[in-house]
């Protein structure tokens, strides 16, 4: 039985191949006693500066594990591995009656999982293939020409395609390694399998997305771009068909609804069809950008080594009086701030990095929690209107041409004007007090939070940093009602999935939710096999 061995230390610059002798040395073994060592987790530990080190966990096979466990079985860093049996994919007969709407991580992983059962589906994506989408996005960033169906939110690969491709998640799910293995198989860097904070980078992510599409096509999936699910036809309390672009009906028994958090027209359609939806809390704020070297200095002290990744951070502040929290979110080391609009007349910020994370600035969302009490009405879509209001204010403040309002960080905290404004956001920024755009409660919590963050990371509060706004698409403003069988409350055969349905936040958790939904469909088909 293989063993997990934790807390092995490597200094910056020391290669992973040394881990075998570290295991031997740690337990007074000969190198030959350690038959095999595989790195399963590696993280940076910079808590005791100036000492910065890597902490590693390995899976190892020893020549005499019984004798080893008799001696070290009580060591807290040693653990025998009991692996769960692999998921059994019983081949199911092809039904031809599954439709997936949305080709983000939820839709793509639902499709990949269905393929494991030998099933296929029609996949609808309102946007374009990733290669064409990339050209549209670049044209928006260069010239402010927005295509409302092909942008940072919409198109093959979903919202995270122009992202840092961070794969961290707070969800604990046995399928995490399944997702990571699939991503590596389709072209993601292999180290995502063991890094504590794995990331793919937008450049590699686009390649992964295109190779998943090619694989699905080979498996008989019918992939349709520029195909928006515009309506759902129901028959006797069950999905009967999906309507595409308002004119084509595709009969189906199973409809996976994975449209992401920006499909506002799709939410409106669900509301018209009486699908149960509830407003849900999310967070709004700005993107902050610091020089990456400054963040490295704060996090690593004076240690410089090319093997250390560009430093990141995660900060949180809770205001006990108001009950609101301010926190950093979707931090992109060595990245850029991106224009993430998907609606005309709205400015939305987000962040992305390439695989190498080699841009000169570090950016992160700094956001404050908001909930139904802030939205003004109790309509299920009140959160959408709240987002839209802030995005329109930002559009007007930026000059009405998709430039974004931006402000020096110190000027924002001190409620002044002036100071250097330097943002990587394209198509450009305009120096505007952000307090004129954000709700006062958000501004106040953000200011308090920033002062608190500076106590955690001395130097975070600096006139070298710029804030660009507004960051509104942090998670879904809506949750679509879903039962324990993953079907929409009141409409059999409709499977709301991923972030847009309110069941995920981020690439990894959306992919995991897509898998859960596909497994639920496979279970249904398995139970009904023969009745088609
Ligand atoms: P989406 O990825 O939003 O996919 C939904 C898809 O459905 C889209 O392709 C859309 O075009 C399509 N669609 C919408 N409506 C319809 C319809 N009616 N018919 C047919 N198709 C439709 N998360 C991370 O974990 N790490 C990161 O580093 C990260 N960075 C991000 C950077 C940016 C710029 C953005 C915008 C997001 C980032 N996220 C990140 C969030 C992450 O992208 C989302 O959480 C994730 O993509 C949600 O997956 P999803 O499949 O549920 O929805």
Last residue of a domain, one of 471, 489, 515: 471
- For the stretch 312-324, pLDDT in tens is 999 999 999 999 9
Residues 121 and 256 in one domain: yes
Return the SS3 of 297. Answer: helix
Q: 287: which residues sit within 8 A by CB, 6+ positions away?
A: 337, 349, 350, 351, 363, 364, 365, 366, 425, 467, 468, 469, 471
Give strand ranges (E) for 396-501.
404-408, 429-431, 466-471, 478-480, 494-496
pLDDT at 162: 96
- Ligand 1 centroid to residue 99 C-alpha, Å: 18
Residues 179 and 244 in one domain: yes
- Ligand 1 centroid to residue 162 C-alpha, Å: 10
- Ligand 1 centroid to residue 434 C-alpha, Å: 26
- Nearest ligand 1 atom to the CA of 149 is 11
Is ligand 1 within 6 A of the CB of residue 403?
no
ipTM over 0.90: yes
Q: How far apart are CA 160 and CA 190, in angstroms?
A: 19
Residues 272 and 307 in one domain: no
Residues 38 and 155 in one domain: no
Under-50 pLDDT residues of the chain: 531-532
- Nearest ligand 1 atom to the CA of 157 is 9
pLDDT at 95: 61
- Count of the separate structural domains present in the chain: 3
- Nearest ligand 1 atom to the CA of 473 is 36
Residues 417 and 495 in one domain: no
Q: 132: which residues sit within 8 A by CB, 6+ positions away?
A: 150, 155
pLDDT at 498: 98
Judge whether 86 lies within some domain. no
- Ligand 1 centroid to residue 137 C-alpha, Å: 15
Residues 163 and 246 in one domain: yes
Ramachandran region, residue 378 (left: φ > 0; alpha: ψ -120 to 50; beta: rest)? alpha
Judge whether 333 lies within some domain. yes
Residues 466 and 510 in one domain: no
Name the residue range of residue 65's domain. 3-80
Residues 194 and 304 in one domain: no
Residues 133 and 205 in one domain: yes
Is ligand 1 within 6 A of the CB of residue 112?
no
- Ligand 1 centroid to residue 381 C-alpha, Å: 19
Give strand ranges (E) for 373-489.
404-408, 429-431, 466-471, 478-480
pLDDT at 532: 41
- Nearest ligand 1 atom to the CA of 261 is 3
Q: How far apart are CA 476 and CA 100, in angstroms?
A: 19
**Atom 45 of ligand 1, nearest CA residue:** 506
pLDDT at 530: 57
**Atom 25 of ligand 1, nearest CA residue:** 506
**Atom 9 of ligand 1, nearest CA residue:** 158
Last residue of a domain, one of 80, 112, 132: 80
Place of tokens 């309509």: 379
Is ligand 1 within 6 A of the CB of residue 198?
no
* C-beta separation of 223 from 229 below 8 A: no
Alpha helices in 189-263, H assignment, sequence order: 202-218
- Nearest ligand 1 atom to the CA of 163 is 32
């Amino acid at each position: 039985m293989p063993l997990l061995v934790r807390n092995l230390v490597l200094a910056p610059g020391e290669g992973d191949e040394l881990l075998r002798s570290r295991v031997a040395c740690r337990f007074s073994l000969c190198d030959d006693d350690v038959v095999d060592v595989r790195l399963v987790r590696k993280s940076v530990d910079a808590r005791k500066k100036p000492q910065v080190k890597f902490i590693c966990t390995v899976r190892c096979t020893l020549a005499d594990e019984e004798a080893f466990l008799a001696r070290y079985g009580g060591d807290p860093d040693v653990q025998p591995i009991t692996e769960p049996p692999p998921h059994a994919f019983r081949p199911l007969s092809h039904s031809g009656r599954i439709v997936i709407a949305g080709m983000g991580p939820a839709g793509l992983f639902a499709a990949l999982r269905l393929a494991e059962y030998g099933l296929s589906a029609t996949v609808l994506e309102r946007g374009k293939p990733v290669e064409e989408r990339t050209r549209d996005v670049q044209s928006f960033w260069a010239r402010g020409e927005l295509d409302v169906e092909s942008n940072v939110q919409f198109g093959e690969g979903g919202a995270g395609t122009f992202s840092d491709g961070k794969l961290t998640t707070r969800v604990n799910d046995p399928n995490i390694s399944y997702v990571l293995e699939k991503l590596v198989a389709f072209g993601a860097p292999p180290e995502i399998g063991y890094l504590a904070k794995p990331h793919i980078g937008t450049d590699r992510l686009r390649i992964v997305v295109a190779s998943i599409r090619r694989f699905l096509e080979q498996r008989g999936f019918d992939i349709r771009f520029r195909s928006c699910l515009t309506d759902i036809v129901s028959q006797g309390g069950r999905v009967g068909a999906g309507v595409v672009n308002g004119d084509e009906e595709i009969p189906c028994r199973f409809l996976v609804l994975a449209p992401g958090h920006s499909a506002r027209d799709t939410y409106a359609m669900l509301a018209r069809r009486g699908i149960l939806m509830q407003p849900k809390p999310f967070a709004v704020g700005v993107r902050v950008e610091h020089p990456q070297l400054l963040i490295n200095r704060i996090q690593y002290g004076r240690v410089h080594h090319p093997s250390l990744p560009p430093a990141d951070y995660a900060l949180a502040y809770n205001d006990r009086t108001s009950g609101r929290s301010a926190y950093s979110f979707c931090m992109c080391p060595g990245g850029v701030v991106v224009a993430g609009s998907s609606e005309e007349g709205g400015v939305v910020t987000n962040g992305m990095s390439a695989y190498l994370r080699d841009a000169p600035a570090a950016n992160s969302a700094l956001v404050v929690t908001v909930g139904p009490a802030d939205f003004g009405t109790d309509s299920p879509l009140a959160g959408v209107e709240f987002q839209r209001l802030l995005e329109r204010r930002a559009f007007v403040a930026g000059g009405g041409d998709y430039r974004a309002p931006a402000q020096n960080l110190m000027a924002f905290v001190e409620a002044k004007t002036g100071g250097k404004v330097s943002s990587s956001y394209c198509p450009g920024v305009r120096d505007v007090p952000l307090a004129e755009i954000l709700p006062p409660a958000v501004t106040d919590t953000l200011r308090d939070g920033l002062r608190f963050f500076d106590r955690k990371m001395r130097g975070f509060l600096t006139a070298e940093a710029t804030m660009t706004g507004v960051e509104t698409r942090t998670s879904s403003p809506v949750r679509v009602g879903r039962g324990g069988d993953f079907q929409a409350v009141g409409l059999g055969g409709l499977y709301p999935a991923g972030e847009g349905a309110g069941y995920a936040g981020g690439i990894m958790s959306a992919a995991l939710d897509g898998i859960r939904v596909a497994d639920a469909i496979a279970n249904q088909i398995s139970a009904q096999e023969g009745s088609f």
